[in-house]
Amino acid sequence: MSRTAITEAFDDEAVLLVGHGSRREKSNDQVKELAAGLEGKLGIPVDAAFLELAEPAIDEAISGLVPTVSRVTVVQLSLFAASHVKNDVPLAVQRGRNNYPSLDLHNGAHLGIHPAIVELLDDRVMAVEDDLDIDRESDDVAVVLCARGSSDPDANADVHKLARLLYEGRAFSRVETAFIGVTEPLLSEALHDLVKTRPGAIVIIPYMLGDGVLTGRIRERTREFDAEYPYVDAVAGDPLGTDDRLLSVLADRWQEARSGSIKMSCDTCKYKVELDGYEGDTGGARAMLRALTHQETHADRSDVDEQPHIHDAPEKHLAVCTNQTCAADGAPALLESLRQAVRDSAADIHITRSSCFDQCGDGPVVAQYPEGVWYGSCDAADAERIVSSLERDRIVGDLVHQTL
């Protein structure tokens, strides 16, 4: 099929590439650069959107595409499946489906494990080997694949799998896994354990998309280790960047999503099965609660340069169910009244649409955080009372439906 024919076949379709978002415009530009590259590869429009810290948000981007296309496929620029992939993006996609019933909206998987990524990591190691003038076939070369680290064991396990695939069939003496934070082994620990095997050189590969703060921290830890152990060369390589091979992975994820053949593991997902140490996370309601209270892990702070992922959060949060039953009972009017009340207020309050709270018949339902209170049978006239209570760190007692 010619490129013209392909373009005509998809002339009513667009792709939404979703990145995390950053206060650093350079990181956001990387997402936009990949979006432009993917558009050239697929021959259909590709827009960029962000989970947080940058614009447009997913909801806004979907709204902008609705007048021009009837089908949108969300492709996620996330390395592994942690809370953003499992909770935040699906909630945003479901809101899009609720808001625009005529739109054919698909949600794709994360980058995950892919042969092109293994090949790309191997090239990153080769670049360091060339700089050091060493050869893995004749020299004792060890590799450390260093990822960000997650509170999701499923995501951390995939880092270990990727490291093993990098090891298989290649002449490395070892390929180890490390993390720069959140979980263990931390990079410093992994390096000190690895040096006991006396390799000739250690190549540390940051498993990151961009060359940001966390990558800089990996380089710093590597320099400290190299100075402490002069008898072994330790050098950090480059992150993934905007290499064209990522476009092949994204194209595969797009095709999987639009054809309904997404493959994501639920066998080891902490929201689906009980894992030792994560029993409290099991269940779909836990996933929803995690998404709604995501802000609590991101306290107000000024040291963004040191911890770029942690962002300033609103002091208060209202989540309004706008699913079918609540919508029929007046949720859209309530949502707009709450937004107007917040605009007239000096308080730092964020209003969010939500899908079903599984309290059908008792709505519209509003969840108020950080108090963890659910209000039931609300209407537009209650908006000012709810916002006023948040301003005074109170709750509206006669509206309380369920306290979590």
Tens place of pLDDT for every residue, the chain, 404 residues?
344 444 444 579 999 999 999 888 898 999 999 999 999 999 999 999 999 888 999 999 999 999 999 999 999 999 999 888 988 899 899 999 999 999 999 999 999 999 999 999 999 999 999 999 999 999 999 999 999 999 899 999 999 999 999 999 999 999 999 999 989 999 999 999 999 999 999 999 999 999 888 999 999 999 999 999 999 999 999 999 999 999 999 999 999 998 887 777 666 777 677 776 766 666 666 666 666 555 445 444 455 455 554 545 567 889 898 888 888 889 888 988 998 888 888 778 888 888 788 788 888 999 888 888 899 999 999 999 999 888 888 889 889 986 44
Domain 314-403 has CATH 3.40.50.2300: no
Beta bridge partners of 146: 178, 206
Tokens 């089908």 appear where?
Answer: 71
Long-range contacts of 34-37 (CB under 8 A, 24+ apart): 34/77, 34/242, 34/246, 34/247, 34/250, 37/242, 37/244, 37/247
* Res 259: pLDDT: 85
Q: Cα(388)–Cα(383) distance, rounded to whole angstroms?
A: 8
Q: Which amino acid is located at 40 in the chain?
A: G
Find out whether 203 and 128 touch, Cβ atoms under 8 Å.
Answer: yes
Domain 3-110 and domain 115-236, same fold? Reply is yes
Find out whether 76 and 18 touch, Cβ atoms under 8 Å.
Answer: yes
Domain 115-236 fold: Rossmann fold (3.40.50)
Q: What is the CB neighbour count within 10 angstroms for residue 307?
A: 13
DSSP SS3 for 387:
helix
User: 106 Cβ partners below 8 Å, 6+ apart?
Assistant: 71, 72, 73, 74, 257, 258, 260
The CA-atom distances, in angstroms, between 126 and each of 83, 232, 237, 238, 248 are 33, 17, 9, 11, 21
User: b vs e for 15-35, b when ≥16 Cβ sit within 10 Å of the residue's Cβ?
Assistant: bbbbbbbbebeebbebbbebb
Q: Cα(252)–Cα(80) distance, rounded to whole angstroms?
A: 15
* Res 24: pLDDT: 85
Question: What values do phi and psi take at 311, rounded to 5?
Answer: -120, 160
Tokens 């948000």 appear where?
Answer: 57
Q: Which amino acid is located at 69 in the chain?
A: V
* Res 362: pLDDT: 85
Torsion from C-alpha of 121, 109, 13, 68, nearest 10 degrees: -110
CATH no., domain 3-110: 3.40.50.1400
> Does 185 sit behind a cis peptide bond, omega within 30 degrees of 0 on the bond before it?
yes
Edge-to-edge strands, sheet with 71-76: 46-50, 13-19, 71-76, 104-107
Domain boundaries, the chain: 3-110, 115-236, 314-403
* Res 2: pLDDT: 44
